[in-house]
Copies of this chain bind each other. A is one copy, B any other.
Amino acid sequence: MVAKRGVVWLRCINDIKEKLKSVLSEERFDHSLRVADQSVILARRFGADARKAETAGVLHDCARDLSFGEALNEANNFGIILDNVTKNSPGIIHAVIGEALARFEYNINDHDILDAIRYHTTGRKGMSMLEKIVFIADYTEPSRDFQGAAGARDILEQSLDRAVLYAMENTIAYLLEKRMLIHLDTIDARNHYLAH
């Protein structure tokens, strides 16, 4: 029975990857595979479900290649009410739409996976283990070379929470410097992990 479930899951994840390959740019698809791989590694290290990690990791950017206008349209189609920051931030809206696409186009109904997709960019207070894993896998996958990725990798050797906090603080500083909107979920999460 376990073996049969394994076969079914393998077919599912392969179907997901095939579909993703057809809608994402090559670069984005490759990034998604790396985040999936990194998520599996971290799930094994920190004791999360590796299959959920792979699924959330590979799907996290499933809406990232929509234009901003398309993403806004999808929000409207799905009846999603966007907050003021999300509806003005291409870098955030894709995570919200990604959750909806995962649910309705990739038939994911596992809330752990959906939440990990939804919060992979902003984070939030009280993230689940899987949310933290996909968040930090996206930040640290091997091809990431922005300032902060190497530091986050080092800290990740010691602590998942501290790596998440470090990535959030770097992201806030970056958004502040670039004069981009900062999502309240990120500040709320940063305050939370700073105090705990």
**Which residues of A are at the interface with B, using a C-beta cutoff of 8 A?**
84-85, 88, 169, 172-173, 176, 179, 181-182, 184, 187-188, 190-192, 194-195
Instruction: Report chain B residues within 8 Å CB of A184.
Output: 184, 187-188
Query: How far is it, in angstroms, between the C-alpha of A195 and the C-alpha of B191 when the chains are bound?
Result: 24
Q: List 12 A-B contacts (CB under 8 A).
A: A85-B191, A88-B195, A169-B176, A172-B172, A172-B176, A173-B173, A173-B176, A176-B176, A179-B194, A181-B191, A181-B195, A182-B190
The answer to whether B191 and A182 touch across the interface, beta carbons within 8 angstroms, is yes
Name the residue of chain B whose CB is nearest to the CB of A182: B187
Q: Cβ of A85: which chain B residues have Cβ within 8 Å of it? A: 191
* Number of copies of this kind of chain in the complex: 2
Q: How far is the CA of A88 from the CA of B191 in the complex (A)?
A: 11
Closest residue of chain B to A177 (Cβ to Cβ) is B173
Residue of B nearest to A181 (CB): B191
- Docked complex Cα distance between A160 and B162 (Å): 38
Question: A187 — which chain B residues lie within 8 A by C-beta?
Answer: 182, 184, 187
Chain B residues within 8 Å of A176, by CB: 169, 172-173, 176
Most buried by B among A182, A187, A190: A187
Q: Complex formed: what's the CA distance from A191 to B87 in Å?
A: 13
Contacts of A194 in B (CB 8 A): 179, 181
Bound state CA distance, A88 and B184, in angstroms? 18
A195 to B182 Cα, complex, angstroms: 11
A133 → chain B closest CB, angstroms: 24
Report how far A188 CA is from B83 CA in the complex, Å: 11
B residues in contact with A188, CB < 8 Å:
184
Closest to A84 in B: B191
Please measure, in the bound complex, the distance between the C-alpha atom of A112 and the C-alpha atom of B84, giving whole angstroms.
Answer: 26
Shortest distance from the beta carbon of A152 to any chain B beta carbon, whole Å:
16
